[in-house]
Structure 1
Amino acid sequence: MDKITLQATLEGYFTWFHRHPELGLAEHKTTARIRELLLGAGVEILDTPLKTGLIAQIRGRPGGPVTALRADIDALPIAEATGLDYASEHPGCMHACGHDFHLTALLGAALLLREEAETLAGTVKLLFQPAEEGAGGAQAVLDTGFLDDVEEIYGLHVMATLAPGVIALSPGATYATVGRFRILVKGRGGHAAEPHHSKDPIVAAARIINQAQTIISRGTSPFDPAVLSITRVLAGSTWNVIPPEALLEGTFRAFSPEKLTHIAESLGKICRGLEESDGIAIDYTWRIVTYSTNNDPVLTEWVAETAKKLDLSVVPYPPTMGGEDFALYQQRIPGVFLNIGVGSPQELHNPGFIANPAPLATAAELLAALGKGSVARLAQNPPSLGSG
């Protein structure tokens, strides 16, 4: 398939997926559409226990090495405000993180690899992963056991601030370890005119918010990046009643589990201190959502060389506090997570985010080249690349 035809085909797929976003673990129509397109192209789909998402494969030489290409498929609970003529048809839900671009690019790679199946030195598995946005999709895929034979894995993500078609990647950790926390402040409600008869959870919550900001600014090294953001504050139901409870939720992020644990424990100390000083019960819980990505240095160099052979510009990727559950694959399988520019007017997770579809064919060609090149290289010299 020539590039012009491929681009036109993929743009048609892309606009459909953008119009029909679905949240994590509810991507039923998305999965059905992916399945329909793959089967129509003669691509084999594996029979996995996944309820949404799927794994397909393109088999070349029997007994050859196995490589995986991954794309995520879920959307976000955000009301779209792009003004696109193919905007989301599902109120309060949109592809604000480019997963529609990712899965479309992987569909394009499937079309290209299917045409070249007879020349593949092994098998390329195509992973359309559900629930990347914090709902455990990567772990669910790993639990199926269908990646146990995979020797390398590659994934791609859009980058809003980069010019369309430019590739950005760096070795090592580029996405952060992500933690999530919940703080329930349990006071005693009462009349707003008589606060002395209450234990005001809102005042305690405000103190937690203020003190939490010192954990990063005064409790961690400025040379070791970290962030703590309180993103949800919920309390009260009317103007003249002190509520019995206040809820805080948020995230902390760092580039190592140890640093994240230090931040989490520091927030716990603040909560315990306020329990003692204010006589208010505080229920504080936290967990790690995903770990830092870890791009194999040698494979990263090979990906950059592969991209340059396709006449693509390659630039270093600056580390981000964004999280990616692709990291869970990399804990078991050597691989690289790379980025492609889409030149959006707004950043990711913004109602105005727009993934420019212009580089879809470029992304598909790169993914196909990585799949084909990886099995060829592994077939020639299995021990030479990948550090595990």
Structure 2
Amino acid sequence: MEEDSKALIELRREFHRLAEPGWMEYRTTEHLIKALQDDRILLHYGKEIYAGERLGLPTKEEKERYSSGLHLAIEKAEEVLEGYTGAIAVVETGKEGPTIGFRFDIDALPLKESTDEDHLPHRLHFESDHLGAMHACGHDGHMAIGIMFTKWLAQHAKQLKGKFIVVFQPAEEGVRGANALVNGKWLEQVDYFFGMHIGMGLASGKICVGTEDILATEKIDAIFTGKSAHAGAHPEEGRNAILAAASAVLGLHSLPQDANGLARINVGKIEGGSGRNIVANHAQLALEIRGSNERVMEDLKAGVKRILEGAAIQYGCHLESSCKGRAEAWYDKDKLFHDQLTIFLQNKGYALSDFSMKGSEDVALFLNRVQEHGGKAMHFMLGSDLKAAHHQEAFDFNEEDLITGLDLFKDLVRFLMTNPIGNK
């Protein structure tokens, strides 16, 4: 156990240094592929694992920042450098049994990491190699667990049965990546699927079985195009895109109340115009909606569409809107599955706790798709004391908790080998 814990921490620190934002996890993917080289592990990566639209792609300038001069020592380097990042690892036991899937996310955030001496990655010199990119949500820890777990599956394949599919998903931040992978052939025959997140305010030593309040979300960009004019001499000749955008912001923030469940909306960014004496011919909004179920989301989407279109018409502007990321709501629907896992983990000595996320995670697409096909799915929260909250420059978790996450997945596999619960 001590040896595994040390290996987990070393892997976590390796991937922490490599921090790359979504769709640009080039070196991260290369290191994943190399770490999982094993004759007993079938590795799939590049275009072959994709079966849907890649949402919220980076700009040309952003891609060049992370790929310029980069030479990847893997077979499908060109495809990875095109943004087809991530990997799927498959372990076949050759014996009849359940197909069990797992998902671990791999991307970092566009955030400058703290250089304070009390920030462990800085003090021990494993801070991000990329100025302006940082693992500030624990995905470096997720990858470490995923790699060690996949290796364990391969090493113990003779003692196990069935098939194991481990998804290393890109672009979770902004809920962009799962949409591109979830409809692939990999999930068609999955009996059980598990997801996990570290931290989020749950204390070290605690595990949540069935994370509550994983909200659906959609990330939307709205562009208003008007007509420029001299603001003093002939303002009447212009069509003010900033006014259209401002009107839309006020209207959008009147939407959230919904009798069908929790609803959230936020316009997080507005920009436009070119000068104080010019009627603005361009304005752009970056907004998101969240809801606790699909009925709420449909109401929100209809309201957003109505308000954006109305603002454009009111000020004589053209509107273009697009989805940059999406995730579904997920909740623990299967009481039997939940109760049996809970009893098993309690008997194994895990300290269990309830946890409400009230946020979004695109692992929900995988969980829902498996359930729609008749399989079982569960999301876990792995407790870990934090030095600063998620998405902050001083974020860090307790590395000693990684071993609990690895043990959790090992124990789940052992349990399902002898206690199949209503699999297909």
Q: TM-score over 0.5 for the alignment? A: yes
1:209 matched residue in structure 2: 249
Deviation at 1:26, TM superposition (A): 2.7
Amino acid in the other structure paired with 2:43: L
Match of 1:62 among 90, 95, 101: 95
Q: Within 5 A, what are the aligned runs for 1:238-317?
A: 238-286=275-323, 289-295=326-332, 296-317=334-355
Deviation at 1:263, TM superposition (A): 1.0
Deviations 1:181-211 (A, max 9, x none): 2222222223344545533222222221122
2:414 matched residue in structure 1: 372
Distance 2:409 2:160 in 1: 14
Q: Within 5 A, what are the aligned runs for 1:1-388?
A: 3-39=1-37, 43-47=40-44, 49-50=48-49, 51-60=84-93, 62-81=95-114, 83=119, 84-85=121-122, 86-134=126-174, 136-170=176-210, 174-194=213-233, 195-217=235-257, 220-221=258-259, 224-286=261-323, 289-295=326-332, 296-332=334-370, 333-378=375-420, 384-385=421-422
Distance 1:257 1:22 in 2: 32
Q: Contact 2:41–2:154 at 8 Å: present in 1 too?
A: no
Deviation at 1:136, TM superposition (A): 4.6
**Residues 63, 263 of structure 1: alpha-carbon distance in 2 compared, 3 angstrom cutoff:** same
Amino acid in the other structure paired with 1:340: L
Amino acid in the other structure paired with 2:394: G
Q: Secondary structure at the match of 1:366?
A: helix
2:78 matched residue in structure 1: none
Deviation at 1:289, TM superposition (A): 1.3
Q: Contact 2:100–2:164 at 8 Å: present in 1 too?
A: yes
**Residues 142, 199 of structure 1: alpha-carbon distance in 2 compared, 3 angstrom cutoff:** closer
Q: Contact 2:204–2:383 at 8 Å: present in 1 too?
A: yes
**Residues 276, 150 of structure 1: alpha-carbon distance in 2 compared, 3 angstrom cutoff:** closer
Bigger Cα displacement from structure 2, 203-212 vs 187-196 = 187-196
Distance 1:263 1:283 in 2: 18
Q: Contact 1:168–1:338 at 8 Å: present in 2 too?
A: yes
Q: Contact 1:290–1:324 at 8 Å: present in 2 too?
A: yes
- Normalising by structure 2, we get a TM-score of 0.80
**Residues 273, 130 of structure 1: alpha-carbon distance in 2 compared, 3 angstrom cutoff:** closer
Q: Secondary structure at the match of 1:168?
A: strand
Q: Secondary structure at the match of 1:342?
A: coil
**Residues 117, 276 of structure 1: alpha-carbon distance in 2 compared, 3 angstrom cutoff:** closer
Q: Contact 1:67–1:374 at 8 Å: present in 2 too?
A: no
Deviation at 1:115, TM superposition (A): 4.2
Bigger Cα displacement from structure 2, 160-169 vs 359-368 = 160-169
Which 5+ residue runs of structure 2 have no aligned equivalent? 50-83
Amino acid in the other structure paired with 2:149: A
Aligned pairs, how many?
375
Q: Contact 1:177–1:288 at 8 Å: present in 2 too?
A: no
RMSD: 2.6
Q: Percent identity?
A: 23
Which 5+ residue runs of structure 1 have no aligned equivalent? 379-383
Amino acid in the other structure paired with 1:232: K
Deviation at 1:178, TM superposition (A): 1.1
Q: Secondary structure at the match of 2:196?
A: strand
Amino acid in the other structure paired with 1:54: A
Distance 1:275 1:35 in 2: 48
**Residues 310, 81 of structure 1: alpha-carbon distance in 2 compared, 3 angstrom cutoff:** farther
Distance 1:70 1:120 in 2: 20
Deviation at 1:155, TM superposition (A): 1.2
Bigger Cα displacement from structure 2, 145-154 vs 335-344 = 145-154
1:381 matched residue in structure 2: none
